[in-house]
Amino acid sequence: MNNEIINLAVPGVRGLEPYRPGKPIEELEREYGVKNAVKLASNENPLGPSPRALAAARTALSDIHRYPDGNGFALKQALAQKLGVAPECITLGNGSNDILELLARAFVLPENEVVFSEHAFAVYPIVTRAVGARPVVTKTRDWGHDLAAMRAAVNARTRLVFIANPNNPTGTWLKREELESFVRDMPPHVLVAVDEAYFEYVGEAEYPDTVAWTGKYPNLVTTRTFSKIYGLAGLRVGYGVSSPAVADILNRVRQPFNVNSIALAAATAALADTEHVTRAVRTNREGMRQLTQAFTKLGLSFIPSVGNFVCVDFARPATPIHERLLREGMIVRPVANYGMPNHLRVTVGLPGENERFIKNLEEVTSGK
Ligand code: PMP
């Protein structure tokens, strides 16, 4: 890049690497000349959105000459009712990613530190560096968050801690007691953001619902999304749940119309379709079993995951395997940028998509 222009960028932004998304299907088909590519790379819902969400989106289309409801009244009401919190506790975002960024922008100064774990979601270092603050990355424990290490990393300069539960890309999760004791121990000058993008997929009895703690901990923020189980990734809508005081601050810095009108309508309708969510959970559970049984059969180990994705370990650099899969029209996610060069992350697909991935994997790993 032009040297002079880069020097005009604010210091934190100069060294930033952009977030690397999963390859879009069209891009692979264009670049590799393959047809019927399958994408198991971005933790999307393979069932697609609820038909009710689609119908609401179509209806909302006829009003797109109007600005959206900047306060997202209907969606906030529906979320408040479902979650058992006051609407004042909710901040709507252009994806939950927006909320993560708003947290850094509204609360973190360049002299502050932001704590998160190794192998945690790639957006945490981006939003931290973008505001010029120092990322403090704690070592992992069994691919997951080491809460004792994270607690020890908190000091007078810390302003924000990010915890992904479950974590992407590893699929590891934290139990209710350990997480609540961590949140309880945080000093008042530290905000804890618990990122629950995959909340609805988790069936473990000891998995915490941190939204239920909103009234207890004024410095806690839970983020969730309509991109994953609700199948609305392309519309960009997510939310934060926090004390009204934190929500008030976030609302001061967000764009006035950060969630578009189609997304608002679709998300409100999606929330009401609990059957679709149940179906997605079931499809995911069965698909996860299908994939992990195949890994075991192929002698490949994997990180047990409670999300809609799983990291498989090739015990050698995964780049050539990833390349071969791409040439077969199979898009999965390399995670070398997460410090995991021997793994690939696979999103659980529909049974036929999983089957095709397993077949491709068998061919690639047997050297055929
Ligand atoms: N948090 C985690 C852990 C994620 O995996 C993702 C999506 N990859 C997000 C947040 C952001 O998703 P969205 O902005 O679509 O809500």
Q: Is the pLDDT of residue 107 over 70?
A: yes
Do both 42 and 105 map to the same domain? no
Instruction: Please tell me the predicted confidence (pLDDT) of residue 15.
Output: 86
- Comparing CA positions, the residue from 140, 98, 148, 150 lying closest to residue 123 is 98
Question: For residue 253, what are the domain limits?
Answer: 51-272
Do both 348 and 261 map to the same domain? no
> Average of pLDDT values for 201-220?
98
Do both 28 and 86 map to the same domain? no
Does 237 fall in a domain? yes
Q: How confident is the model at residue 22 (pLDDT cuts 50, 70, 90)?
A: confident
Q: How confident is the model at residue 327 (pLDDT cuts 50, 70, 90)?
A: very high
Among 245, 272, 299, the domain-final residue is: 272
Does 221 fall in a domain? yes
Instruction: Please tell me the predicted confidence (pLDDT) of residue 367.
Output: 67
Instruction: Please tell me the predicted confidence (pLDDT) of residue 97.
Output: 98
Q: Is the pLDDT of residue 3 over 80?
A: no
* CA 284 from centroid of its chain's CA atoms: 16
Residue 93 CB less than 6 A away from ligand 1? no
Percentage of the chain exceeding pLDDT 70: 99
Atom of ligand 1 nearest to the CA of 43: 8
Instruction: Please tell me the predicted confidence (pLDDT) of residue 199.
Output: 98
Q: Is the pLDDT of residue 111 over 90?
A: yes
Do both 338 and 361 map to the same domain? yes
Residue 305 CB less than 6 A away from ligand 1? no
Over the stretch 223-240, which tens digit does the pLDDT of each residue have?
999 999 999 999 999 999
Q: Is the pLDDT of residue 21 over 90?
A: no
Do both 30 and 79 map to the same domain? no
Do both 217 and 355 map to the same domain? no
Atom of ligand 1 nearest to the CA of 195: 1
Do both 88 and 127 map to the same domain? yes
> Average of pLDDT values for 18-42?
88
Does 6 fall in a domain? no
Q: Is the pLDDT of residue 50 over 90?
A: yes
Mean of all residue pLDDT scores within the chain: 96
The pTM for the full model equals 0.96
Does 152 fall in a domain? yes
* CA 98 from centroid of its chain's CA atoms: 11
Among 272, 304, 319, the domain-final residue is: 272
Residue 233 CB less than 6 A away from ligand 1? yes
How far is the C-alpha of 193 from the C-alpha of 330, rounded, in Å? 34
Over the stretch 173-189, which tens digit does the pLDDT of each residue have?
999 999 999 999 999 99
Q: How confident is the model at residue 2 (pLDDT cuts 50, 70, 90)?
A: low
Give how many domains the chain has, as a whole number. 2
CA of 320 to the centre of ligand 1 (A): 27
Q: Is the pLDDT of residue 17 over 90?
A: no
**The domain that contains 55 carries what CATH number?**
3.40.640.10
Do both 64 and 195 map to the same domain? yes
Do both 163 and 69 map to the same domain? yes
Residue 238 CB less than 6 A away from ligand 1? yes
Instruction: Please tell me the predicted confidence (pLDDT) of residue 366.
Output: 83
Do both 260 and 304 map to the same domain? no
**The domain that contains 356 carries what CATH number?**
3.90.1150.10
Does 202 fall in a domain? yes
Residue 168 CB less than 6 A away from ligand 1? yes
Three-class SS of the chain: CCHHHHHHCCHHHHCCCCCCCCCCHHHHHHHHCCCCCEECCCCCCCCCCCHHHHHHHHHHHCCCCCCCCCCCHHHHHHHHHHHCCCHHHEEEECCHHHHHHHHHHHHCCCCCEEEEECCCCCHHHHHHHHCCCEEEEECCECCECCHHHHHHHCCCCEEEEEEECCCCCCCCCCCHHHHHHHHHHCCCCCEEEEECCCHHHCCCCCCCCHHHHCCCCCCEEEEEECCCCCCCCCCCCEEEEECHHHHHHHHHHCCCCCCCHHHHHHHHHHHHCHHHHHHHHHHHHHHHHHHHHHHHHCCCEEECCCCCEEEEECCCCCHHHHHHHHHCCEECEECHHHCCCCEEEEECCCHHHHHHHHHHHHHHHCCC
CA of 197 to the centre of ligand 1 (A): 6
Q: Is the pLDDT of residue 146 over 70?
A: yes
Do both 44 and 55 map to the same domain? no
Q: How confident is the model at residue 29 (pLDDT cuts 50, 70, 90)?
A: confident
Do both 57 and 143 map to the same domain? yes
Q: Is the pLDDT of residue 215 over 80?
A: yes
Among 243, 272, 301, the domain-final residue is: 272
Instruction: Please tell me the predicted confidence (pLDDT) of residue 1.
Output: 54
Does 136 fall in a domain? yes
Q: How confident is the model at residue 244 (pLDDT cuts 50, 70, 90)?
A: very high
Residue nearest to atom 13 of ligand 1 (CA): 95
Does 14 fall in a domain? no
Over the stretch 350-362, which tens digit does the pLDDT of each residue have?
999 999 999 999 9
How far is the C-alpha of 287 from the C-alpha of 28, rounded, in Å? 24
